[in-house]
Structure 1
Amino acid sequence: MKTENHNNTNKRPPLSPLLKTAKPAAYFILLLLTYALGYLSAPSATSSPQFQQQAPPLPSLTPLNAVSDSDFHSSSPSNSVIQLTVNSTELDSFRVTTQCADPISPELVRRTLVDRLFNGTSPFSNFPPPHAARILRRTTKIKGWGSKGAVFENLIRRVKPRVIVEVGTFLGASAIHMAELTQRLGLSTQILCIDDFRGWAGFRDRFSKIPMVNGDVLLYYQFLMNVVNFNKTGSILPVPFSSGSALIKLCEWGVLADLVEIDAGHDFFSAWSDITRGYRILRPGGVIFGHDYFTAADNRGVRRAVDLFAKVNGLKIKIDGQHWVLYSA
C-alpha cells in the first residue's frame, strides 16, 4: 500500500478534507495579490513625467483657393495634400518684386532672340544637318499630353496674343496646335518654346524611337523636324535652355508675353520657379496657365505651387479641363 511519504518511518495522521481544499485556494489568492500589486506599482506612461510627451499642436487647415477641397483630395492620408494657413507676413518671403526691362515691340521679339541666341541665323536654316537627316522621323502624329485641350482655343480667342511663351515643349505638340489656332484666327503670333530638350532620366523607356547619337538624345532635332513638317517655322522659335535661365533672360531683354503656358517639371519646386518667373514676363492683362493641376506627382506638386502662388499674389484660380488658369491682376 502506498503512503503519503515513503521516506518516513512514522506515519502522520491523514489531513482533513477541508484543509486539503484550503491550501490550493490560499496559494491562488496570494498569486493574484502579487500580480495586482506589481501592476499597480509599475510606472505609467501617461502619469510619469519620465515618459510623458506633449504632442505638438496641430496646424489649422484651410483650402488656399475657392475650389472645393473634396474635389481633389483622396481620403487616404498618404495621398492628401495639407495646406496651411499663412498670414501676410509669412507670405512676404515668397513675393518677387524685381521688374523686367522695358518691353520691346512684339514685331522685334523673333529678330531679337535669333540675334542673341543663334548669332543671327535661324535654327531652321539648312535643317536638318546631314548627320541627323537620315535618322529623324517625319510624322504627323506627335506625342503630347493635353496638347489639344479646349483651354488653348478659349484663351487664344480671349487674349488674342501676339507673343506666347511655352515652358516645357518636348516634341512640340501643343506649340504646333497653338500655331494652327492663331493662324486660323488670323493672328500674327510668335510662339517661343523654352525647353532644354533633354527629356528626363529614364524617358527612353517610353520613347525608344527617339534617336540617340553618342549619348545625345536628339529631342531638339526631332522638335525642329516636327515644326518643319507642319510648316510652322515662321511662327515657332525654340529657346533651347533651362526654363530658369531662359525666363530670366527674357525678363532682362524686355521680351514679354500675352500668354504663358507652364508645362515642364511636375515637382513643387520646379513648378513654383517656372510659374513665378513666367508671371513676371506677362504683359498687363496677360494670362498664365498650365497642365497637370490634377496630377499626383510629387504629392500634387503642381497644384501646391499654383495654390501658393495664387495666395501670395491675391489671384483666383480658374479650372479649364485639366488646366489651371491665372489672369494677371
Structure 2
Amino acid sequence: MPHFTEDWSTGHFPHWQRLFFELLGWDPTAPRRIVEIGVFEGRGTLWFLDHLLRHPESRITCLDTFGGGAEHLPSQTEGLEARFRANVAESGAAAKVEVLKGPSFEGLVRLLARGERADLVYVDGSHEAPDVLADLVLAWRLLPPGGVMLCDDYLWSREEAARVDILGCPKLAIDAFTNIHRRQIDFPLWGYEWQHAFERIG
C-alpha cells in the first residue's frame, strides 16, 4: 500500500474526473504525456497514472526538489523523496514515470531542450508568485493546441504579520499569465474555484 503522511489532493479528484472526462472528453486509453510540477508524496501522480495514463506509451515527468517550500515544516519533508519513489514503485506503473529532481525552472528547460510536448501540465510547485509565473511561461511552450494547463492553489494565501502577502500566492501569477494569453486560451466551465484550468487554442 502507498504511504502518505498528508492529503492535499483527494478533494481534487472528483473535480478532475469531471474536468477531464465530462468537459474535455479525454479518452484514458489514448497515449498521453503529462508534466507534473510539484509532486510531494505522489497522490496526484498515482491518480494521473490510474485515470489518464492507461495507454502503454503514456508517460508522466515529475519535477520536484523534494525539499518543500516556505510553507512546509521539516517534519513534512523528511524522507519525502523516498516516500514518493516508493509510492510510484508500488503503483506498478513506475516505467511510465520520469523524475527530474531539482528546481522546476531547470526541469522545464531540460524538457524544452529535448523538444518535449505535453497534453497536460499540472502546476503545483512553489507558491511564490514569481516562481509560479516562471513555471507558467516555460510550461506554456510545452503545450500544443488542445493542451491543458491545470494550476493548483489558486486561492491559497500565506499570511505574514496578520496580512496576506500577495507575492507569496499563486493567484497573482496565474491571473497575470491568463490575462496576457487571453486570446490563446479557453476556460472550461468547470466551477472549481480552488484550481484554475485552461486549454491552449490555436
Give a deviation string over 1:241-282, Cα, whole Å, max 9, x none: 210011111111111100110001112111111111111101
Q: How many Å separate the matches in 2 of 1:320 and 1:289?
A: 13
Task: Tell me the equivalent position of 1:272.
Answer: 133
Q: Alpha-carbon deviation of 1:234?
A: 2.0
Q: Alpha-carbon deviation of 1:237?
A: 1.9
**Is 1:328 equivalent to 2:189 in the alignment?**
no
Residue of structure 2 aligned with 1:199, choices 36, 52, 68: 68
Task: Tell me the equivalent position of 2:8.
Answer: 145
Residues 209-224 of structure 1 aligned to structure 2 (within 5 Å): 217-224=78-85
* Greater C-alpha Rg: 1
Q: Is the 8 A contact 1:260 1:287 kept in 2?
A: yes
Q: Is the 8 A contact 1:146 1:291 kept in 2?
A: no
Q: Alpha-carbon deviation of 1:317?
A: 4.5
**Is 1:248 equivalent to 2:109 in the alignment?**
yes
Q: Which amino acid aligns with 1:189?
A: S
Q: Is the 8 A contact 2:32 2:52 kept in 1?
A: no
Residues 169-188 of structure 1 aligned to structure 2 (within 5 Å): 169-182=39-52, 188=57
Q: Which amino acid aligns with 1:164?
A: I
Q: How many Å separate the matches in 2 of 1:307 and 1:169?
A: 23
Paired residue total: 183
Is there any run of 5+ residues in structure 1 with no aligned partner, and where? Answer: 1-137, 211-216
Q: Is the 8 A contact 1:142 1:173 kept in 2?
A: no
Which structure has the higher relative contact order (CA within 8 Å, separation 6+)? 2
Change (3 A) 1:201 1:307: closer
Task: Tell me the equivalent position of 1:304.
Answer: 172
Task: Tell me the equivalent position of 2:93.
Answer: 232
**Is 1:167 equivalent to 2:37 in the alignment?**
yes
Q: Is the 8 A contact 2:42 2:84 kept in 1?
A: yes
SS of equivalent to 2:153: coil
> Is the strand fraction higher in 1 or 2?
2
Q: Alpha-carbon deviation of 1:328?
A: 0.3
Residue of structure 2 aligned with 1:290, choices 144, 151, 164: 151
Give a deviation string over 1:303-323, Cα, whole Å, max 9, x none: 111111111112354554221
Task: Tell me the equivalent position of 2:162.
Answer: none
Q: How many Å separate the matches in 1 of 2:5 and 2:144?
A: 30
Task: Tell me the equivalent position of 1:130.
Answer: none
Q: How many Å separate the matches in 2 of 1:159 and 1:304?
A: 29
Q: Alpha-carbon deviation of 1:141?
A: 4.0
SS of equivalent to 1:282: coil
SS of equivalent to 1:239: strand
Change (3 A) 1:285 1:175: same
Q: How many Å separate the matches in 2 of 1:325 and 1:187?
A: 26
Q: Alpha-carbon deviation of 1:230?
A: 2.2
State the TM-score, normalized to the length of structure 1.
0.50
SS of equivalent to 1:170: coil
Q: Is the 8 A contact 1:171 1:226 kept in 2?
A: yes
Q: How many Å separate the matches in 2 of 1:156 and 1:254?
A: 25
Q: Alpha-carbon deviation of 1:140?
A: 4.4
Q: Is the 8 A contact 2:62 2:100 kept in 1?
A: yes
